[in-house]
Chains A and B, each alone.
Chain A
Amino acid sequence: MEESDSVESLCSSTTTRSDRSSGTRVSDTELRSKGRAIEKVYKDPSKGELPLLPEEHVQDSAKDVTYICPFIGPVRGSLSVTNYRLFFRCTDREPVFGLDLPLGVLSRVEKIGAATSRGDVSYGLACKDMRNLRFVHKEPEDSLKKSVFEVLMKFAFPVSNNMSLFAFEYKQVFPENGWKVYDPLAEYKRQGLPNESWRISKVNDHYELCDSYPAALVVPVTITDEELRRVSSFRAKGRIPVLSWIHPESQAAVVRASQPMVGQNGRRCKEDEKLLQAIMDANAQSHKMFIFDARPSVNAAANKMKGGGYESEDAYQNAELVFLDIHNIHVMRESLRKLKEVVYPNIEDSHWLSNLESTHWLEHIKLILAGALRIADKVESGKTSVVVHCSDGWDRTPQLTSLALIMLDSHYRTIRGFQILLEKEWLSFGHRFQQRVGHGDKNHTDADRSPIFLQFIDCVWQMTRQFPAAFEFNEYFLITILDHLYSCLFGTFLCNSEQQRLKEEVPKHTVSLWSFVNSQLEEFVNPLYVGYPSHVLFPTVGIRHLQLWVTYYIRWNPRMRPQEPVHQRYKELLAKRAELQKRVEELQREAANRTASSSSERAGSPTRSITPVQTFV
């Protein structure tokens, strides 16, 4: 009993276990095992026992801060702010209560109301990870002295204060270099590219053709670089149709792009039409092609007013256009905001289901999964090549292509394969992480922010629920990715494009999230993984089979927390599996030995199962 830790101490500590390997912070598991997991503690001379990361320094701290916990009520303790995170520790209650969150998670810090007669000021901290925190603190009497919250505001939004993100200071060395995980040429080679129909073009080597695309692009051999340049002027932001994935057998390709700049007058582009024809011709199996426009048709049509639009069937013969009805970033942002209201801090049990329905969050998930399913179906069952685009091709498009790729290619369901998929479809093809997440930026009302990537991870999670044995990674892996999407500890999700990351020398100055992940893979392995190398996964997209991701969205609610940390159970299962496998091997060996010794009799193979005489289904 004395070893167990309390709900209170868990209820707000982050699940960021980023720095586990550096052994410097108290996460909930570590609290559970009271320090056993802590290898060493960096001592800051001024602050005593705070477990700090390399290059992390305490900037300010204050005693007598009250944290208003929505689950257990007010807690008094001391608060420290470092250049990376916020610590809140209450030691005079049993068990110890702690809060530990990376500043990158904060989207807004504000004073609520004026000081009370006792000089208490209330601060509200809105977080990107589905929670809000509230503190009450006495204003320092010396008006020249800054409040700890002012220091917090400075370090929470370094970009707005002309400072660098902590990722550029963090210098942890891991056994593996995660920046080497993705090599575009190696990945294309795995897919059998280049081949007789597809070549790797260097036209974007210096990001001149398209600054948000990667340097290496796979295009049909019959299209010259010059033609590609012309196409780029016809596609929004120069994001031309290029190959994402090719089916190993049918040669049907998944191609991504942005919307064509058709406009109200129905502009056409000969080269673009030729390019799409060439894409179709590269697949001998089909004389047809599907263009998936992720938007609702109304929105696609409205885009014509602004110069954009969609491919007309006249200009692109043999191509069929399908709208996937997925809404834009603003709708998604609003949906998540509603979801946060419904799940944090308290859930209304009696209206839970209708409240959940009113957020539309799962309906959006359904539409995205349904879209990806249709794409995967056309490629797999129809052996047809597909082109996927939305408006700019950097939000809904990567959601759809990467989900379709996960369905089609089992490689992307492994831990490393999934990393490659993210590096390729999201990072190299310029999903605007900086804009959508707003790293270190205090402008929390920025309309460019949107939980597009979170939505994608949610879709992946839904698939892992439906196919619990098909993915090498576990839920904790997905949560870790999301935690570090916001934490700004690693360089992986910084900047908006490959070009920017190179310009800022992100790989040189920061650590990759994959360095951390791949250095302790056992944490992220799904014990039930059996792989199905050749299986295509077609998930069921009905709302009936979708679930709210409780362990992510409602993880701050201590009541919804599994009693036993999930990954602990995973590990037990892994051990159990290993034990069973060992046993099987032993028995097989024994059986083989005996067979050898008694030569006359053949070892009985496992008996065939009895087939039912008839079924009533």
Chain B
Amino acid sequence: MLSLGSVGAKSTKPSFVSYVTPEEIKLEKEPPKKLKHPDLLPGEVEFCSANPILKYTQDDLSQRGVFGTLFCTNFRITFISDEKSQEETIFQGIAHHCLEEKSLKCVFAFSYTGTPSPEMQRKRETILFDSPEDWTQEMKRTKANCRLVTENENFELSQRLPKYFVIPSALGDLFSYQGKGFPIWCWSHYSGCALFKASLPPVTQEDGDFQKHFDIMINAVAHNYLYSAKTEDLSESLPTIQDIQQSYNKFKQFFLIENSTDFWLSDMKWFSSLESSGWLDIIRQCLQKAVEVVECLEKDNTNVLITEEEGTDLCCVISSLVQIMLDPYYRTLMGFQSLVQKEWVAGCHAFLDRCNHLHQKDKECYSPVFLLFLECVWQLVQQHSPAFQFSETYLTVLSDSVHMPVFSTFLFNSAHHRESVLKAESPLAQSSPLSCPTVWDWSVQFDSKAQNYFFNPLYSEKVKHEKAVRKPHKLKHQRQLSLPSTAFKTPFKKGFFKDETDSLKKMLRVKRLSRWMGSPDSTAAISREFYESWQQRPLDYHGLLLPCLDGPAVRVWMQRYLRWIPEVHILGGGSVAVMTKLMELLSQVQDLKRVLEQRDSSQAAKPDHRPYIQHRLLSFGSSGRLPSSFPFAYSRNRSFKPIIPTGLMQCLMLTDSLASQEDEASSFVSLV
């Protein structure tokens, strides 16, 4: 049996297994001489190929496969069937390109020469936050009162910092902290208070320096609005990135299922296995922390500063979640993409290291932090689907795209890294940097029909009722201002503030979020109250959105994890059934509209003939019954047979006396 281990993990189950031993393969006929070639993408180079290769289907027990050629290119492996032994070559090829360490230069993105599509126009597209205008615009949108820093344009402040970023206007000298410990503005609440994130200040010889720096940081944040701030050190209260990695590795194993027997055996202990991985618990903790931050912003109108060693991992998770919960804009497709750009891409999340694109063997920095964020978003989407313009399919596709080494989006460790590599790799050195498509140019991957699956047909569009929307906001704002807890309404003199930070800090409501909350138990109780009071209010899909975090409410992202397992495909069922029906209806309307429009102006749309990278997302055809795994796994010829569990008896060996009792208690009393 030839098998390949799963990427990057050590003692894990193989995720790729050959179903037959070489001896079982019988060559039935002479292979035709003519060799076919795959349609290569621009820049894609064929490394090796093997022929004939027999391709088996997992759920087909007939032990018959399809003959063909397996190609390995610098981008993918691809199988082309021809109804016509170099296994080792091909396996070496795969192993070499999937498992071995490689340099960034070898990543396919640098060979890919597909041109960015002409549709990719700035106007209505994702905001990339790579220009000062984007940031100014965002500050204007949220009515933030902060300062845009352009001094790092050439990475003079620090290579770890974004090119442009926003800080509290009260923060003075920028150059003394080796690029660390800036409170970086994330988002402003309509009340004026804002969320900031920061890496921890550099630790110097003297403890006092750290403290002093920290105080300046907090005071700058507090100065933003009403002189109140809370801080939260995420590395203290949330799992470390290694914990996240370990838990995910464990969790992932449950979905690498070799065969039907394995499936039904593991089915019995499904719930306790899930629990033991701790993955759902990590998701719950992140959402919980985000809710706590939301509470500070929304209920107490306090500035919040979240910190972490580097400020680019869990800070990104929490700040993005907070923004999704508070700001309906980020629940639209474009808004969400802009958020990922703002917090993650421009925010310098170390994608290259965290995703381990280079297959480095013993690096500790590998951790699915971004996936964790998507998982949390999925929970929100699951619980409040009408509030989101995008669908779970979109999230699944996005999570897949992280590992598509074609896009510049998820390929670098920081803005500086991106810029320097793209410059160095440019074929026309010194003139312009290499242009890689961003992942947001979905037309590189999918045709427009497939892209329809990104949209949630049940999204409740915002009703354009300016007055109705604003009014409650105003009311809420006023009421909260009059709360007795908001003690400092009149601003202090600046001089006083600057001179006596220590004593002032005591007076100011500068508190550590977690300490202020007390023990973890009462934290849960307090945010429980916050959730409950929110839950009582009438639901507004365009207002604050909170997740329910009780045990049964946090679920497994079925579509992402179960889509390749034939045992759980529901033929003709799943949410796909509903979605397709709704989309059919919507597309009918659109088709008819188009027919009418075409009559008005007989202008035919020019078809796009560019090759698509993936066709995994299938366009829905006329077939009435799709499996629940659609649009990911789909075979037309799947026999319409139910999947009957095996080994049922083993799953419920009840030993207690009840099991042997007779149904009718009265009927055979004398005999028992």
Given A535-B572, A564-B539, A616-B615, 20 further pairs, Cβ under 8 A = A6-B536, A299-B660, A303-B662, A334-B656, A347-B551, A352-B552, A357-B272, A381-B642, A466-B570, A539-B570, A540-B573, A542-B568, A543-B271, A544-B267, A587-B596, A594-B599, A598-B599, A603-B595, A610-B447, A612-B619
Q: Which 10 A-B pairs have the closest CB atoms?
A: A352-B551, A612-B615, A538-B642, A587-B592, A609-B619, A357-B271, A447-B665, A353-B275, A330-B658, A353-B271
**Interface pair A5/B625, CB less than 8 Å apart:** no
Can you list 18 A-B pairs, Cβ within 8 angstroms, ordered by A? A306-B671, A327-B654, A352-B551, A354-B275, A360-B654, A362-B271, A377-B641, A466-B570, A537-B573, A558-B532, A559-B531, A559-B550, A563-B535, A573-B458, A580-B589, A604-B595, A606-B591, A612-B619
The answer, yes or no, to whether A41 is at the interface (CB within 8 Å) is no
* One of A12-20, A53-61, A267-275, A467-475 contacting the partner: A467-475
Q: How far is the CA of A564 from the CA of B535 in the complex (A)?
A: 9
The answer, yes or no, to whether B578 is at the interface (CB within 8 Å) is yes
**Interface pair B568/A545, CB less than 8 Å apart:** yes
Q: How far is the CA of A612 from the CA of B635 in the complex (A)?
A: 12
Segment 523-582 of A: residues with Cβ below 8 Å from B: 528, 530, 532, 535, 537-545, 548, 550, 554, 557-561, 563-564, 569, 573, 577, 580-581
> Inside 8 A of B549's CB, which chain A residues have their CB?
349
> Inside 8 A of A374's CB, which chain B residues have their CB?
644
> Inside 8 A of A327's CB, which chain B residues have their CB?
652, 654, 659
Q: How far is the CA of A573 from the CA of B386 in the complex (A)?
A: 11
Contact code string A380-400 (vs B, CB < 8 Å = 1, else 0): 010000000011100100000
Contact code string B608-631 (vs A, CB < 8 Å = 1, else 0): 000000111011110011001000
Q: How far is the CA of A542 from the CA of B539 in the complex (A)?
A: 34
**Interface pair A541/B645, CB less than 8 Å apart:** yes
The answer, yes or no, to whether A373 is at the interface (CB within 8 Å) is yes
The answer, yes or no, to whether A312 is at the interface (CB within 8 Å) is no
**Interface pair B615/A528, CB less than 8 Å apart:** no
**Interface pair A373/B552, CB less than 8 Å apart:** no
**Interface pair B552/A467, CB less than 8 Å apart:** no
The answer, yes or no, to whether B263 is at the interface (CB within 8 Å) is yes
Report which B residues bind A (CB closer than 8 A): 39, 78-80, 263-264, 267-272, 274-275, 280-281, 284, 386, 447, 449, 458, 472, 528, 531-532, 535-539, 548-553, 556, 558, 562, 564, 567-575, 577-578, 581-582, 585-589, 591-593, 595-596, 598-599, 614-616, 618-621, 624-625, 628, 632-635, 640-645, 648-649, 651-652, 654, 656, 658-666, 668, 671
> Inside 8 A of B536's CB, which chain A residues have their CB?
4-7
Q: A-B contact count, CB below 8 Å?
A: 267
Who on chain A is nearest to B571 by CB? Answer: A538
* One of A80-88, A115-123, A167-175, A363-371 contacting the partner: A363-371
> Inside 8 A of B632's CB, which chain A residues have their CB?
617
The answer, yes or no, to whether A314 is at the interface (CB within 8 Å) is no
The answer, yes or no, to whether A351 is at the interface (CB within 8 Å) is yes
**Interface pair B658/A360, CB less than 8 Å apart:** no
> Inside 8 A of A604's CB, which chain B residues have their CB?
595, 598
Q: How many Å from the CB of B229 to the closest CB on chain A?
A: 29
**Interface pair A353/B659, CB less than 8 Å apart:** no
Q: How far is the CA of A330 from the CA of B672 in the complex (A)?
A: 15
**Interface pair B645/A615, CB less than 8 Å apart:** no
**Interface pair A560/B550, CB less than 8 Å apart:** yes
**Interface pair B573/A467, CB less than 8 Å apart:** yes
**Interface pair A353/B447, CB less than 8 Å apart:** no
**Interface pair A594/B596, CB less than 8 Å apart:** yes
Q: How far is the CA of A329 from the CA of B663 in the complex (A)?
A: 6
Report which A residues bind B (CB closer than 8 A): 1, 3-7, 296, 298-299, 302-303, 305-307, 325, 327-331, 334, 347-354, 356-357, 360, 362-364, 366-367, 370, 373-374, 376-377, 381, 390-392, 395, 447-448, 466-470, 528, 530, 532, 535, 537-545, 548, 550, 554, 557-561, 563-564, 569, 573, 577, 580-581, 583-584, 587-588, 590-591, 594, 598, 603-604, 606-617
Q: How far is the CA of A53 from the CA of B624 in the complex (A)?
A: 47
> Inside 8 A of A325's CB, which chain B residues have their CB?
648-649, 652
Most buried by A among B598, B644, B658: B658
> Inside 8 A of B620's CB, which chain A residues have their CB?
609
> Inside 8 A of A305's CB, which chain B residues have their CB?
671
Q: How many Å from the CB of A197 to the closest CB on chain B?
A: 27
**Interface pair B568/A544, CB less than 8 Å apart:** yes
Who on chain B is nearest to A559 by CB? Answer: B550
Q: How many Å from the CB of B15 to the closest CB on chain A?
A: 15
Most buried by A among B263, B624, B625, B661: B661
Q: Known interface pairs A325-B648, A349-B550, A376-B642. Does A354 touch B271 (Cβ–Cβ under 8 Å)?
A: yes
> Inside 8 A of A613's CB, which chain B residues have their CB?
39, 615
Q: How many Å from the CB of A425 to the closest CB on chain B?
A: 18
> Inside 8 A of B586's CB, which chain A residues have their CB?
580
**Interface pair A587/B593, CB less than 8 Å apart:** yes
Contacting B585 at CB < 8 Å: which of A7, A467, A584? A584
**Interface pair A609/B621, CB less than 8 Å apart:** yes
**Interface pair A354/B535, CB less than 8 Å apart:** no
Q: How far is the CA of A607 from the CA of B591 in the complex (A)?
A: 9
**Interface pair A540/B570, CB less than 8 Å apart:** yes
Most buried by A among B386, B550, B621: B550
**Interface pair A306/B662, CB less than 8 Å apart:** yes
Who on chain B is nearest to A545 by CB? Answer: B568
Who on chain B is nearest to A557 by CB? Answer: B550
Q: How many Å from the CB of A300 to the closest CB on chain B?
A: 12
**Interface pair A612/B618, CB less than 8 Å apart:** yes
> Inside 8 A of A468's CB, which chain B residues have their CB?
573-575, 577-578
> Inside 8 A of A584's CB, which chain B residues have their CB?
585, 588-589, 592
**Interface pair B592/A563, CB less than 8 Å apart:** no
Who on chain A is nearest to B617 by CB? Answer: A612
**Interface pair B652/A367, CB less than 8 Å apart:** yes
Q: How far is the CA of A447 from the CA of B595 in the complex (A)?
A: 68
Contacting A7 at CB < 8 Å: which of B275, B532, B568, B652? B532
Q: How far is the CA of A591 from the CA of B592 in the complex (A)?
A: 7
Who on chain A is nearest to B569 by CB? Answer: A540
Who on chain A is nearest to B561 by CB? Answer: A544
Who on chain A is nearest to B572 by CB? Answer: A535
Who on chain A is nearest to B57 by CB? Answer: A617
> Inside 8 A of B643's CB, which chain A residues have their CB?
538, 540-541
**Interface pair B572/A537, CB less than 8 Å apart:** yes
> Inside 8 A of B656's CB, which chain A residues have their CB?
331, 334
**Interface pair A370/B644, CB less than 8 Å apart:** yes
Q: How many Å from the CB of B511 to the closest CB on chain A?
A: 26
Who on chain B is nearest to A391 by CB? Answer: B663
**Interface pair B645/A542, CB less than 8 Å apart:** yes
Q: How far is the CA of A470 from the CA of B572 in the complex (A)?
A: 9
